[in-house]
Amino acid sequence: QVVKGKAKKAAKLVDKPVNKAAVLGAGIMGGGIAYQSAYKGTPIVMKDINDKALTLGLATASNILTKQVERGRMSATKMAGVLTNITATLSYDAVKDVDVVVEAVVENPKVKAAVLAEVESYLSDEAILTSNTSTISIDLLAQSVKRPEKFCGMHFFNPVNRMPLVEIIRGKQTSDATIASVVAYAAKMGKSPIVVNDCPGFYVNRVLFPYFAGFSQLVLEGVDFAKIDKVMEKEFGWPMGPAYLLDVVGIDTADHCTGVMSAGFPQRMQKIENDPVSVLFENNRLGQKNSQGFYNHG
Ligand code: NAD
């Protein structure tokens, strides 16, 4: 359930602003989160478990900045300054003095639980821990930390530099001050935070996945997916239709999320036999990430 009006109220409660952050995982999301924090002036430590991932994470930030310089929207000096705000590391030593951590490692509850417990042991008692999980319950993850009142979800959307919304997910034990600090940090990153309660799909995916399910039903009834997209784009005015959006989200991610949503809301989101998304997934057509999904992106 979306908690109306809480974001504004909460912003008044911040007792310690976020001056330094850390992101765990330098993947698609970690790289984008590091860029966004650095670009908006909050230094950030980007921690991963392998060097190659760190190089790719830094490349994510650097590529976004290079495009801005090429388009004349940013000077090369400013770009260099933004990059110095990102510290890439394989060690937890650099996270000791951060005010907030955004965990953005692989979507696996066991890995996330271990990473959250481990990083917490390096942090000060005041530091806040957040998770960028798309589908795992915040209350479940809270069981792996010692200070659940200092823990909440901080769910960014892909690509982080272009998507304004950030869902701040409140666990049962999350304190108001924690929500306030994370809301303020998201706003400082130039994002639009909303505060939501913990439930499968949080807010956006709860709305999006029933929409995808409606689309899948139409396709199974014989309607051409490209025609559905065309109507949504050209006539209804949305930036992209459901098939194209599924390719952007990633067919594997969408398939996983469909399972989470139908398990969480079995009455509302029944599993669809021969769902085109699972059929594509079984055929390794993962969308834009491997150039083949509903469409060929090559
Ligand atoms: P990704 O696979 O691109 O990156 C994950 C990174 O985590 C990898 O670089 C990996 O080396 C690193 N990692 C694994 N174990 C680690 C550990 N113990 N410590 C530090 N780093 C570790 O994944 P992603 O797409 O960036 O997703 C990350 C999280 O963000 C997931 O929870 C996902 O559900 C969520 N998310 C993803 C999207 C999306 O569109 N990709 C959108 C919103 C949220």
Query: Using CB atoms within 10 A of its CB, is residue 9 exposed (0-12), middle (13-18) or buried (19+)?
Result: middle
User: Are both 111 and 236 inside the same structural domain?
Assistant: no
Q: Which of 173, 197, 221 is the C-terminal boundary of a domain?
A: 197
Q: How far apart are CA 216 and CA 48, in angstroms?
A: 37
Mutate to test the pocket of ligand 1, among 48, 89, 108, 191 (most ligand atoms within 8 A of CB): 48
Q: Are 108 and 133 in contact (CB under 8 A)?
A: no
- Are 173 and 256 in a shared domain? no
252 in a domain, yes or no? Answer: yes
Residue 260, domain CATH: 1.10.1040.50
Residue whose C-alpha is closest to residue 240's, from 289, 76, 231: 231
Lookup: tokens for 68: 């801005």
- Residue 1 falls inside a structural domain: no
Do residues 163 and 32 touch, judged by C-beta distance below 8 A? no
105 C-alpha to ligand 1 centroid (Å): 4
Token pair of 42 as six digits? 């909050």
Kindly state whether residue 295 falls inside one of the protein's structural domains: no
Report the predicted TM-score, pTM, of the whole model to 2 decimal places: 0.92
Evaluate if residue 2 carries a pLDDT over 70.
Answer: no
Which of 24, 28, 191 has most ligand 1 atoms within 8 Å of CB, for mutation?
Answer: 28
Question: What H or E segment, with its residue span, contains residue 196?
Answer: strand 192-197
Task: Kindly state whether residues 131 and 274 are assigned to the same domain.
Answer: no
Domain that holds residue 106: 6-197
How far is Cα 22 from Cα 136, in angstroms, rounded to an integer?
21
**Of the candidates 177, 150, 185, 261, the residue with the CA atom closest to the CA atom of residue 216:** 261
Same domain, 221 and 173: no
Q: Does residue 205 carry a pLDDT above 50? A: yes
- pLDDT tens, 137-191? 999 999 999 999 999 999 999 999 999 999 999 999 999 999 999 999 999 999 9
ipTM value of the model?
A: 0.98
Q: Is the pLDDT of residue 225 over 90?
A: yes
| CATH code: domain of residue 27 | 3.40.50.720
Catalytic residue among 155, 170, 206, 285: 155
CA geometry: angle at 158 spanning 79 and 39, to 5°? 20
Please indicate, yes or no, whether residues 96 and 234 belong to a single structural domain of this protein: no
- Does residue 242 lie in a domain region? yes
Residue 47's H or E segment, with its range, is strand 44-47
Whether 284 is in a domain gets the answer yes
Ligand 1: lining residues by beta carbon, under 6 Å = 24-30, 47-50, 53, 104-107, 111, 115, 132-134, 156-158, 253
Q: What is the pLDDT of residue 8?
A: 60
Domain count across the chain: 2
Tell me, yes or no, whether 15 lies in a domain. Answer: yes
